[in-house]
Amino acid sequence: MASWGRRSSGMVHHIKALSKVELRGKAGEMKGGWWRYPLQPGVASALVPRSWPCVNTMASLFLVQRFKSSLPQKQVEDDDGDQDLDFPGGKVAYTSEMKFISGSYDKRIPCYRVLGDDGELIKYGSDFEKVNKELAVKMYSDMVCLQIMDTFMYEAQRQGRISFYMTSFGEEAATISSAAALTKDDIILPQYREPGALLWRGFTLQEFVNQCFGNKDDGGKGRQMPVHYGSSKHNFVTVSSPIATQLPQAAGMAYSLKMDKKDACVVAFIGDGGTSEGDFHAGLNFAAVMEAPVIFVCRNNGWAISTPTSDQFRSDGVVVKGQAYGIPSIRVDGTDALAVYSAIRAARSMAINEQRPVLVESLAYRVGHHSTSDDSTKYRSLNEIEHWKTDRDPVNKFRKWVELNGWWSERDEADLRSSIKKQLLKAIQVAEGMEKPPLTELFTDVYDLPPSNLIEQEKLLRQIVNKYPRDFPSDVSLH
């Protein structure tokens, strides 16, 4: 976590370390105000200002040490013989045939899966990461816990006890299995439907409920909307409402880890609708160019609030977008816990060992409404929702697989659900009866010394509250 704020110092340290590295090959030649250094075959010469300090090392930092996997593949020569275009970035073969690249593949990119709808291992599902009983039971237990918490908190909002809520129905496996495949040192940047990842890392039910009620024990001090969780202890960056802003941030954080030579990566989640934001493209391109160890996980749940994917994409979903940026990508069945776990494990290994970004598209239908502010029956059929709720439920699918292994029973199921419900009822009771953060907390944690305009705002707010006390919550202290 501390590495996030050390990018500048990390760069200085990296440049100093590289001052001991020698560039092999011919000496550089000066042209104009620039030094030109020959690099490895197939890579254009490095051009850097003559006035830069550590000219050799800067060129080495950004070009020489790039992985071969990131270089353009050799072009097949066409009927123009040995002629080609020596262009920055690599040689490009000429052709006398005018041919446009197809805008889409003849067939859609396949979706990787391991489990069938009845929890059985499919015949071609041998290529997956094995999980033991302890891991499988925890994954399943957390899925059940998330499902029950969503049910309770959704009802609490409908009763007017909290202002807002978002459920993860249908996407439980996509987030919990992703978190299970990571280590505690990996940094997670969520969108807003990833509480399962935070639950996996040890965030308690009481902490979840405290945040939704915005009481004095809420880590955000009541200044965020419900379900905008965050925890520095668990390397889970606080949810931010603006869509896709976390993706460029993830690329920067990942590059910071790379500079500090950390054995960790960054994992950034995004919804299918968020891929239409400019930050999605900026984040992927920046991560690709800088070869940052970041995994971009897109939860393609079929509906970006009320926009179907048919209206969202002209391309084949999200997975094909990675190729345009030179990023290895995979499409995975988000209702299949084993497939998600295996794909994220492999993506993490690739991101860290090869120091490069990876794109994962998870196909998991959003069964619930987009939020408590939405009624999804206005734009999709009840039959469609019911099909995914009953026939393709990721929690039931994984339970069947765990049961087939002899690791779960009806008694285990009853005990688990009873225990979670009791914990949630108690957590809600405690959170609801707890004091709200004092008014003073609205003006803290941004500046070490509050500027004059902020002091003036606080003074004005107090005057308004004192003048119209009935318009403000009586349980909020002014001190």
Instruction: Provide the β-strand partners of residue 269.
Output: 297
CB neighbour list of residue 38: distance below 8 Å, 6 or more residues apart:
25, 26, 28, 45
Report yes or no: 398 and 170 within 8 Å, Cβ to Cβ.
Answer: no
**Exposed/middle/buried for 90, CB within 10 Å: 0-12, 13-18, 19+?**
middle
Q: How far apart are CA 387 and CA 310, in angstroms?
A: 19
CB atoms < 10 A from the CB of 416, how many? 17
- Locate tokens 């659900």: which residue? 417
- Return the active site residues: 155, 241, 370-371
CB neighbour list of residue 187: distance below 8 Å, 6 or more residues apart:
1, 4, 235, 237, 250, 253, 257, 264, 265, 266, 267
Q: How far apart are CA 270 and CA 249, in angstroms?
A: 13
Residue in 232, 293, 228 with CA at minimum distance from that of residue 259: 293
Residue 256 has phi, psi (to 5 degrees) of -65, -45
Report yes or no: 335 and 364 within 8 Å, Cβ to Cβ.
Answer: yes
CB neighbour list of residue 48: distance below 8 Å, 6 or more residues apart:
34, 35, 37, 55, 58, 59
Helix H, strand E, coil C: the string for 104-170 is CCCCCCCCECCECCCCCECCCCCCCCCCCHHHHHHHHHHHHHHHHHHHHHHHHHHCCCCCCCCCCCC
In angstroms, the first-to-last Cα distance of the chain is 32
Report yes or no: 174 and 334 within 8 Å, Cβ to Cβ.
Answer: yes
